[in-house]
Structure 1
Amino acid sequence: MITTPHQKYQQTQLQTASPSQLLLMLYDGAIRFIRLGISAIEEADHQKTNTYLCKSQAVIHELIAALNYDYPIAKNLYQVYEYMIHRLIQSNMKKDKQPANEVLSYLLELRESWDTAAKSLGGTAELAK
């Protein structure tokens, strides 16, 4: 149930976003959760580490769900996303920020690439589905 103006704004933003904007929002969410997970590792807060790294994995699963296998790159992206999930699990289990930092660097690079592609196609291109 939506109770705050901020939640209403977020819902409207999601409902009116283009596919490319939704994809970028997913990347932004995964990046944010990984950064929070890394901070939690540094603070030795195991509960928050688990929460945020699991949330980032869930977002990456959404990226996998958004893949369109009509395009050959989808298979490669699937493998990259699966690798990221594997590394996040390792980071979470060992409470080691290095694997999470690795995934963060990949997500930042992919997000930048998708952003550039969306801008070059006019921002309304259907990148994910």
Structure 2
Amino acid sequence: MHSESAVDAYKAAAIENAPPLKILRMLYQGAIRFLDQAAAIDPQRAAADFNAKVGRADDIVTELRCSLNHEPAPELTRQLDALYEFAQERLAAAVATRNAEPLADARAVLVKLLDGWSAIDLRGAA
């Protein structure tokens, strides 16, 4: 096994065996990382790169929206869905206008949600 494939296998196993709350946090962190990368790109000069990074963040937010289980707490999931929808609208605005400014709004929402989920103790809420 090559060292790269060993590292990939290790990372995959770490994700597969992670508690759901840790996976959720990793998704938020990934979306925020892609937004930071997109914000560092001049969308007027490198639209394809900008759109790709924003698209990766949007894919994660889409996954977060699709994974919502509305049955246990319909009001909470309705509010989360509205926040995710807002974030996606800001991402779409950034791509449509080739302007990184709307990314800050989406990032702020995701950071706030990450902070909230991070306040939950992993030991008691796996």
Name the TM-score class by shorter chain. Answer: 0.7 to 0.9
Partner deviation per Cα, 1:8-53 (whole Å, 9 max, x = no partner): 1210111110010010011011001111111123683111101000
Pick aligned residue for 2:95 from 92, 117, 129:
92
- CA-CA distance at 1:5 after TM superposition: 2.3
Structure 1 match to 2:117? 114
Q: Which residues of 2 match residues 1-129 of structure 1 at below 5 A?
A: 4-41=5-42, 44-70=45-71, 71=73, 72-117=75-120, 119=121, 122-123=122-123, 125=125
Q: Aligned partners of 1:61 and 1:123: how far apart in 2?
A: 27
Structure 1 distance, partners of 2:43, 2:124, is 39
Superposition RMSD on alpha carbons, in Å?
1.9
Q: Partners of 1:116 and 1:54 in 2: how far apart?
A: 28
**TM-score, reference length from structure 2:** 0.88
Cα separation, partners in 2 of 1:69 and 1:35, compared to 1, 3 Å: same
Matched AA of 2:34: F
Contact 1:18 1:124 in 2 (8 A): no
Distance in 1 between residues matched to 2:103 and 2:59, nearest whole Å: 14
**Structure 1: how far apart are the matches of 2:11 and 2:70?**
29
Query: Secondary structure at the residue paired with 2:69?
Result: coil
Report runs of 4+ in structure 1 exceeding 3 Å deviation.
Answer: none
Number of aligned pairs? Answer: 122
Unaligned residue ranges in structure 2 (runs of 5+): none
**Structure 1 vs Structure 2: percent identity of aligned residues?**
22
